[in-house]
Amino acid sequence: MSARILIVDDLVPNIRLLEVKLTAEYYDVVTATNGHDAIDIAKTEKLDLILLDAMMPEMDGFEVCRQIKSDPNLAHIPVIMLTALEESHNRVRGLKVGADDFITKPINDLILMARVRAQLRIKMITDQLLSHTGYSVANSQSVLEQIGQQQARILIIEDNETRARKLSEPFHHKHLIRIEGDPRAAIQAAKAGTDTIIVSLVSTNFDGLRVCASLRFDEKTKDIPILALGDLEDESRLVRAYDLGVNDLLLRPIETEEIKARVDSQLRRKFFTDSLRDNFNENLEMVISDPLTGLGNRRYFDRKIETLFELLENEGEAFSIMVFDIDHFKRVNDILGHDMGDTILKEVAARLVSNMRAMDIVSRYGGEEFIIAMPKTNAAEALLAAERVRSFVGGTPVYIGGQAHIITTSAGVAEVQPGEKLRDVFKRADAALYRAKQQGRNKVMPAEDLNQAA
């Protein structure tokens, strides 16, 4: 489904003109001729962007934008305000009530579409983070309230000292400013950590567009907001800047209040997406990690081992798996208690990790069972490794409350054969583990090969 855009203007001809332009670019368009209808549509329709005329009777666009951005359920919808008013204080007013961008009429088609695409890209990223974390803007108000108080690191890339100093003046009282006139040094500074970047497109000693491209295509800087500064006459460069992923564009001459408002807007979005991304990473860690031992869990193992199956199939690279189980663990829990059992699980996990290679995949597969995948390892090598681990675990007591407890493990080992799935090789290794248990425990047993199993 294409992006859904709401056009709000009290003049029907203006709506029709924009509608034709947007539908030609395959956007899905909804329209409203007044502010009240616009707000109702925003509440009931799933919108990706709002194009909002600033000057309308009854309720002007500034008030519509303020109400939309103050509603936690709507605040994440990007708003581009459109106006014939050229004074910068009107743009500042729009940005301060929450507008994400501001376009002055008559509208340049190329600039309009470039800005629409830029806002839709940002909306898509925010939507993905919200869906992954389970958060919504509505239940993230505590985060949003703190954002305005944060000190930011702002990097200004400008080779003219006078222009650079003027650009930095509005921010010194609150933020940390770094000015770089050398693009290589600037890119290194960005990689070291910054919250927003102001790039001049009119510098004489470097190509600002090339700097933007380098920043956008580097993993360490691709998500940092970029505010580019350019000249209205250089239309092709302005459009190209948006295509390269610049977040916002400010035309010279630069008004102090406007650059402050635009930078503040970018910082709010940056800090909000950072908080969502941190939450997502934390949730992901919880999803793929066993909280007791700190090892990967079953989901983590199943995901990581996919690469080993691909290497076996495509390049014939051998690998093996080992399934470890703590002997008589139910008895341990019954006699010593579950807290002591947890302590033993953590200790066994630590010993497993300390005796395996960095490339090995060690996971708690459930209960007292652990599973290890050993890349580039055949069955004979895996048996030696499993025997080493079994001997180490059982040969060193676990001390709990000053008392020494001997804990042993049993293991089944299987080399993965071409054409096998994880469930197949696990079944063979688990059957070998069962034989080790039957033969007195504290043993390592090899799995039967496929011919024997058949």
Amino acid 451 reads N
369-375 vs 361-366, strand pairing mode? antiparallel
DSSP SS3 for 188: helix
Distances (CA, A) of 253 to 13, 119, 179, 202, 258: 32, 24, 19, 12, 11
Q: What is the DSSP string of 45-107?
A: S--SEEEEES--SSS-HHHHHHHHHHSTTTTTS-EEEEES---HHHHHHHHHTT-SEEEESSP
Do residues 150 and 266 make contact, with C-beta atoms less than 8 angstroms apart?
no
Residues 6+ apart with CB under 8 A from 57: 10, 34
Q: Which of 180, 347, 368, 415 is catalytic?
A: 368
If one counts every other C-beta atom within 10 angstroms of the C-beta of residue 48, the result is 20
d(CA 376, CA 317): 6
Catalytic residue flag (residue 282): no
Do residues 210 and 183 make contact, with C-beta atoms less than 8 angstroms apart?
yes
DSSP SS3 for 324: strand
Do residues 157 and 197 make contact, with C-beta atoms less than 8 angstroms apart?
yes
Do residues 428 and 419 make contact, with C-beta atoms less than 8 angstroms apart?
no
d(CA 168, CA 176): 10
If one counts every other C-beta atom within 10 angstroms of the C-beta of residue 143, the result is 16
DSSP SS3 for 227: strand
d(CA 182, CA 17): 44
Burial of 336 (0-12, 13-18, 19+ CB in 10 A): middle
Q: Tokens in use for 392?
A: 């180490």
Burial of 158 (0-12, 13-18, 19+ CB in 10 A): buried
- Per DSSP, helices labelled H in 355-410 are 379-395
Burial of 233 (0-12, 13-18, 19+ CB in 10 A): exposed
Catalytic residues: 368
